[in-house]
Amino acid sequence: MTIYSRITGTGSYLPPNRLSNADLVAQLAAQGVDTSDDWIVERTGIRARHFAAPGVFSSDLGLEAARRALQAAGLEAQAIDLIIVATSTPDMVFPSTACILQNKLGANGCAAFDVQAVCSGFVYALTIADAMIKTGAATKALVIGAEVFSRILDFKDRTTCVLFGDGAGAVVLEASSTPGILASDLHADGKHVGILCVPGHVSGGGVLGEPLLRMDGQAVFKLAVGVLDEAARATLAKAGKTEADIDWLIPHQANIRIMQSTARKLKLSMDKVVVTVDQHGNTSAASIPLALDSAVRSGKIKPGETLMLEGVGGGFTWGAVLLTL
């Protein structure tokens, strides 16, 4: 019998401290940084973001999202045999955030590791979990995207600090006799390392180099719109499907203009695109599972529908996953 993998539960979590654009603009103005609600909304579609309190880490946000996904799947934590956390803001250099989260969840003993593919992290992690389930290496996986990007933002750099937020999203992926994940397509091109990075590294008891996020927004924008279309088309071809088979597009939530362009290229109306960037900004690896969970819980996405998930980000990395819920 062929083994497939299916999403059986979704969950997400946003830390309670919500900053509207007006809140952030006022805070930045007090530090002499000039920006506006109008600029942020017009250029990005972002209206608010959430920031984790001091002492709250990616594992804490991921833990809440994971608990909600487990509850939706009707599973106890002990049933899980694989945990993958996609994050670029891990709790520690090592061990992995997945190990820390596993212990907090009480799922000790199962395989647990992190995936570092920045904003494409969730589609990478989901693809790995799918492959492990198909080979029989796992049967019930938690795939989590969790980030505290507020910790790596330079609040003197208005071109980046207004864009990102903190949060987590999770899915339970289980072995199934019927297909859930239909196809995926992953890519990276390391020659673009410099356009989106946190270049610092730990050495000799300190951080050497810049420990804050640096981005060439226009370069990222241009690359993103091209590669997202390519990845979506390659994934559809692998699954033997066409654009017409997509019920919902769930792109990485970075900028509404990138999403509009991606939808246009796929001949999809914006009614078929799940948009949450307005409410949580760019949460990197957490953005896709956050958007997925919000659309599932609101009843927008229904069981049996076909979803195209698309990630893009630092690396440069990109990829897509086509699945039936």
Residue 12 pairs in a beta bridge with 169
Q: What dihedral angle (degrees, nearest 10) is formed by the CA atoms of 224, 228, 231, 234?
A: -130
Which of 313, 316, 317, 323 touches ligand UT7 (CB under 6 A)? 313
Which window, 144-152, 158-166, 260-268, 295-303, contacts ligand UT7 (CB under 6 A)?
Answer: 158-166
Could you say whether residue 258 binds ligand UT7 (CB under 6 A)? yes
Which of 19, 217, 243, 247 touches ligand UT7 (CB under 6 A)? 217
The residues in 81-100 that bind ligand UT7, with binding defined as CB under 6 A, are none
Which window, 15-23, 96-104, 214-222, 226-234, contacts ligand UT7 (CB under 6 A)?
Answer: 214-222
Integer Cα distance of 141 and 143 in angstroms: 6
Could you say whether residue 224 binds ligand UT7 (CB under 6 A)? yes
Which of 12, 44, 96, 97 touches ligand UT7 (CB under 6 A)? 44
In the residue annotation, 99 being an active-site residue is answered as no
Rg from Cα positions in the chain: 19
Reply yes or no: is the peptide bond before residue 95 cis, omega within 30 of 0. yes
| Alpha-carbon torsion (162, 98, 298, 247), positive or negative | positive
Q: Which DSSP helix (H) or strand (E) runs through 159?
A: helix 158-161
In the residue annotation, 161 being an active-site residue is answered as no
Residue number of the CB closest to ligand UT7 reads: 217
Integer Cα distance of 73 and 116 in angstroms: 26
Identity of the residue, 71 or 159, whose beta carbon is nearer to ligand UT7 in the bound complex: 159
Integer Cα distance of 85 and 145 in angstroms: 6
CA distances to 50, 118, 211, 274 from 282, rounded to whole Å, are: 10, 11, 19, 14
In the residue annotation, 201 being an active-site residue is answered as no
Active-site residue (options: 21, 110, 161, 252): 252
Could you say whether residue 158 binds ligand UT7 (CB under 6 A)? yes
Q: How far is the CB of 135 from ligand UT7 (least distance, A)?
A: 31
The catalytic residue positions are 119, 252, 282
Which stretches of the chain bind ligand UT7, using CB under 6 A? 35, 39, 43-44, 119, 158-159, 162, 196, 217-218, 220-221, 224, 254-255, 258, 282, 284, 312-313
